[in-house]
Each structure stands twice: as C-alpha cells, then as structure tokens.
Amino acid sequence: MNALLVTLRRDLRLAARRPAEVATSLVFFIVVVSLFPLGIGPEVTLLQRIAPGVIWVAALLATLLGLPRLFAADHADGTLEQQLLSPQPQVPLVAGKVLAHWLLCGLPLVLLAPLLGLQFNLDGNVLAVLMLALLLGTPVLSLVGAVGAALTLGVRGGGALVALLMLPLYVPTLVFGAGAAEAAAAGLAAGPQLSLLGALLIVALLFMPWAATAALRIALE
Amino acid sequence: MDMNPSARWLRFASPAAFYPLAGRLQRVFACAAALLALAGLWVGFFVAPTDAQQGEGYRIIFVHVPASWMSMVVYCAMAFWAGVGLVFNTRLSAMMATALAPTGALFALLSLVTGSLWGKPMWGTWWVWDARLTSELILFFLYLGFIALQAAIDDPRRADKAGAVLALVGVVNVPIIYFSVKWWNTLHQGASVSLTRSPSMAATMLAGMLLMALAFWAYAVAMALARVRNIILERERHTEWVRDAVEQRS
C-alpha cells in the first residue's frame, strides 16, 4: 500500500512539473469531439443521437494517446528498472502508476464530458449518466491499457502498435459505456449497462495490475 | 531405457525431437485435410438439398461456418500454448502459438469474406453489423495485434512472452467481447437479420458442415506444424542437428 502511495505521489508530482503533457491529451479529446459536428453538420437531433458514442470514442483515443507516457519516460532513464529491482512488491507499484495515469488522463475526461455534452445539446440526466459511465469506464481503459503500454515498451512503432493491441480489447467498455448514455437518452433505465461497467471495472482491477507487472518484467528482462 | 510414459511424451518438448515428429504428423494431417475436404465439398455441392428459402446460395455455409468455428478454436489453442509456454518456460510451446496465429487470422478473414459474399444475395448488402460478423471482425483484429506485436520485437524470447501475455488477456476478453457485441446488437438492430437458421436443418447439410469442419481442423494442424518446423529451423540454426537436417534435405 505504501509503495502504491509513494509511486502515486511521485508520478503526480512529476506530471505537475510538466503540465503541458497532460493538457495535450485533454485538448486532443476536446478537439476530436468538436470536429464531429463540422464533419456531420449542425443538425441538433442527429448530434444528440451520436453524442454519447462520439464522446466515448474520443475518450478511448485520448486514453490511448496518454498510454505511452505511462512507462516510457521511466524506462528511458532507467528509473523503472530500479523500481522493479527494489525489494518493494511490484504489483502495488504498477497499480500506483496506473492510478496516477487515470487521475491525469481519465478523471479530467469525466469532468470535461458534460461541457462537451452541452455542445451536443444533451439533457441533464443524460449528462449525469454519461459522467457516471465514464467514471466507471475510464479506469478500465487505463488498467487494460497499462498491459498494452508495458508490452510495447521500447518496441519499434510503439504508438500505433499499442492502438492496434488495445482498441479491440476496449470494445466491451465502449459498448456498455455508450449504451448507458443512449439508454438514458431514450428514456430507459441505464442501470444494467452501469452494472456491467462496474463488473468490468472489478474484473480489470483484479487481473490487470498483475498482467501489467508480468508484461513489464518481460519487457525489462 | 526405462522411461515412464509422461517422460516419453515430454521428450517432444525439445525442438530437436519434435522436428521429425512434426514432419510425419504434418503429412498425415495434410492428407486427412485433402480427403475430408473432398468428401465435404461433394456432400455440400451434390448431396445436400437446395434450401427452400435461400436456394443454392446457402451452400457457402459449408465454408463459412467451419471457418468461423476454426477461427475461435485456433485462438483458444494459441492461448493454450502461449500459457503453457509462459508457465513451464518451454520454447516449443511459444513457437506453437506463433505458428498458429497466421492460420487463425486466415480463418477469421475467410469467415468475414464468405460472410459478406453470403450477405449480398441474402440480405442485399455486403456487410451488416450482425453480432457474429462484428465479433469475428474484432477477433481478426486480435489476431493482427498478436502478429504485429511479435513482429515488432526483435528478441525472440521477449516476443514469445509478450505475445503470450497478449494472447491470455485476449482469450479472457473474447467471451466478454462476444456478449457485449451481442447486447449492442439486440439494442440497435431494428429489422432483425440473423444467421440463425431454422432448427430443421437437413441431416446431410449438417454432415457436410461437420466434414468441412474436420477438414479445416486437419488443415490448421498441418499448417501449424509446417510453420512450426520452419520456426524451429530458423531459431535453432546455430545447432549441429539443424545443420545436419538441412544437409540431409538438400
């Protein structure tokens, strides 16, 4: 637990000293979402319908964009190797890094989503469900993505590769996440989708830190 | 020499011992695949009756359904060997996983292509976002990811292990993806187009499909063995026995 908190604090402090890096993926998120009305046309009913899907797909892409940052800098200067060589248990350490990544790349997406939802004329209750779904879903994206980031560490063409590896695995999160908001927009209960997202989160929390640690060990062998 | 049965089998975990065995098995399975495919095609084209609703066009089912089945079976086999390789640290298991991936990807692609060829006359469109077609597409992407990851890593040992982790994460995800896509499909599909057929499928149709499935299965085994032989030669090229084997062949 201590290793988790120390790693979390360290990663957050490092990110705070280079705020532009974090801001890039957030601005990317906003720009991608704002491009859709320009591509499709400003018809309100159509935009209302596609908004949850658009916001979710943009959230997937923004998370992907932040993934290489998860381990790459520490790998480049040798910190990661030292961290894994230390007598501390490794899984909490990796979990701390993933948590820091989510706080920097996932949570801001959740907070920005209602602003973007207003651009698309979404109702209040749909916005609330969308935020809740993102709150449950973006940690899954960070957890699963950590495995991909660890597997492609220091590999040729890592950025495009991590997208190819991870996007198929993001499908369930996308389906349930966008489905929750769409159900709310259609006046149906969003409970089932949110429960399934919660189940995905629990499963990801159980397995992914271990898988990411194993993948990191392979990468640093 | 007195060996217990498990030790006799474990001998084949060594690439040098497996190479000749794979050669023999490969020929057996290749012959079986050819014979079964001939029998399956004969049943499919000449014995199975014309479908009441779909006419002759339905006969693509004899390729489409076995290809879809095999694309899933091969992924499971790949994940199995990847897991064995990761747990017991046996090189041959990881080579097996690498050898299976292209065959599985081929089956997934074949299933997609035949699905769309079937869809054109039946549904009037090349592609529908049917739950099964969509999850097959995602399975195809998973295969491509596995192949791309292994291709991007130069050190074969790291490539093996990284691929193994990805295959295991993937195999846990495959059922989740399938059910999520199915759920998504039932929510979105207005006019239901379904591949589900009437329960009264003629016995000959089923027989043809099973024959073709067995043929594809034998083909997958033969191809994986042929490919694993090449991988063994490539990776063990520094050893004495590979030099001997190559000299004997030429």
A134-190 per-position pLDDT tens digit: 999 999 999 999 999 988 887 877 778 888 888 889 988 998 888 888 888 877 777
* Residue numbers in B near A49 (CB within 8 A): none
User: Which of A164, A218, A221 is opposite residue B145, by nearest beta carbon?
Assistant: A164
B52-to-A9, B55, B125 alpha-carbon distances in Å = 68, 6, 21
For residues B140 and B124, give the distance between their C-alpha atoms in angstroms, rounded to a whole number: 24
- Number of Cα atoms under 13 Å in the Cβ half of residue A98: 28
Is residue B64 in a domain?
yes
- At residue B198, does pLDDT exceed 70? no
Cβ–Cβ contact B159 with A under 8 A: no
Q: What is the mean pLDDT of chain A?
A: 87
For residue B55, what are its two tokens? 């006419």
Q: What is the mean pLDDT of residues B222-233?
A: 90
Count up the domains in chain B and report the number.
1
Q: What is the mean pLDDT of chain B?
A: 82
Cβ–Cβ contact B138 with A under 8 A: yes
Mean pLDDT is lowest, of A40-49, A64-73, B44-53, for B44-53
Say what the pLDDT of residue B2 is: 52
- At residue B58, does pLDDT exceed 80? no
DSSP symbol at B196 = P
User: Which of A156, A158, A175 is opposite residue B183, by nearest beta carbon?
Assistant: A175
**ipTM given for this complex:** 0.84
Is residue B165 in a domain?
yes
Say what the pLDDT of residue A36 is: 87
Share above pLDDT 90 across residues of chain A, in percent, rounded to a whole number: 19
Q: How far is B140 from chain A (nearest CA, A)?
A: 9
Say what the pLDDT of residue B188 is: 57
DSSP string, A3-29: HHHHHHHHHHHHHHHSHHHHHHHHHHH
Is residue B69 in a domain?
yes
Instruction: Tell me if B157 and A211 make a contact (CB, 8 A cut-off).
Output: no
Alpha helices per DSSP H over chain A: 2-17, 19-40, 44-66, 72-76, 79-85, 90-101, 107-119, 124-151, 158-166, 171-185, 191-220
Which has the higher per-residue pLDDT, B44 or A9?
A9
Is residue B243 in a domain?
no
- Given pLDDT bands bounded at 50, 70 and 90, which one contains residue B214? very high
Is residue B168 in a domain?
yes
Q: What is the mean pLDDT of residues A11-37?
A: 87
- At residue B228, does pLDDT exceed 70? yes
Say what the pLDDT of residue B190 is: 44
- Given pLDDT bands bounded at 50, 70 and 90, which one contains residue B3? low
Instruction: Tell me if A168 and B138 make a contact (CB, 8 A cut-off).
Output: yes
Instruction: Tell me if B177 and A144 make a contact (CB, 8 A cut-off).
Output: no
- Given pLDDT bands bounded at 50, 70 and 90, which one contains residue B179? confident
Instruction: Tell me if A151 and B181 make a contact (CB, 8 A cut-off).
Output: no
Say what the pLDDT of residue A15 is: 84
- Given pLDDT bands bounded at 50, 70 and 90, which one contains residue A91? confident
Cβ–Cβ contact A220 with B under 8 A: no
Is residue B178 in a domain?
yes
- At residue B69, does pLDDT exceed 80? yes
> Residue B176 sits in which domain range?
23-234
Say what the pLDDT of residue A120 is: 84
- At residue B182, does pLDDT exceed 50? yes
For residue A27, what are its two tokens? 């601005």
Is residue B58 in a domain?
yes
Which has the higher per-residue pLDDT, A130 or B121?
A130
B238 near B88, Cβ under 8 Å? no
- At residue B193, does pLDDT exceed 50? no
A211 near A220, Cβ under 8 Å? no
3-state secondary structure of A143: helix
The CATH number of whichever domain residue B161 belongs to comes to 1.20.120
- At residue B192, does pLDDT exceed 60? no
Cβ–Cβ contact A44 with B under 8 A: no
B151-167 per-position pLDDT tens digit: 888 888 888 888 999 99
Q: What is the mean pLDDT of residues A194-221?
A: 88
Phi, psi of B46 (to 5 degrees): -110, -30
Return the residue of B nearest to A210 by Cα. Answer: B165
For residues A151 and A162, give the distance between their C-alpha atoms in angstroms, rounded to a whole number: 8
Say what the pLDDT of residue B57 is: 73
Is residue B246 in a domain?
no
For residue B114, what are its two tokens? 């035949």
